[in-house]
Amino acid sequence: MILKHLFLVKSATLATTPPPGGWHATGLPGGVWSLVQVESWLEDAARDAWEALPDVVELPFTMLDQPLPVPAQALLAAWGVVASDTLRAALRKVRAQWPGARHD
């Protein structure tokens, strides 16, 4: 499966307000946050509303070769992600725990 959109989302928010469209998720260590991949959206307005939720953090693929944002570093550290990882490098490590996480 090829990822189209990747987000960090509080698990409680995901349970009550899932993304409007086709998606998959995995819980992160600690259970508070989830990593969510969205393959398709039902409509743009619904996508905009979901992305505007306070506990939704996008990890845009335009930053694949840039350093991973600090909040993501901490949330993914249990899976071997370190501060010097780019988003691309972090996703390679995440795939060891969640094989469906592909960016290419």
pLDDT of residue 102: 63
The string over 48-61, giving b where at least 16 C-beta atoms fall within 10 Å of a residue's C-beta and e elsewhere, is: eebeebebbbebee
pLDDT digits (tens, 9 = 90+) for 40-98: 899 999 999 999 999 999 988 888 899 988 889 999 999 999 999 999 999 899 988 88
Q: Write down the domain spans for the chain.
A: 5-95
* Structure confidence by residue, pLDDT tens digits, 49-65: 999 999 999 988 888 89
Cα angle: 39, vertex 26, 85; to 5 degrees: 85
Indicate the pTM of the whole model.
0.86
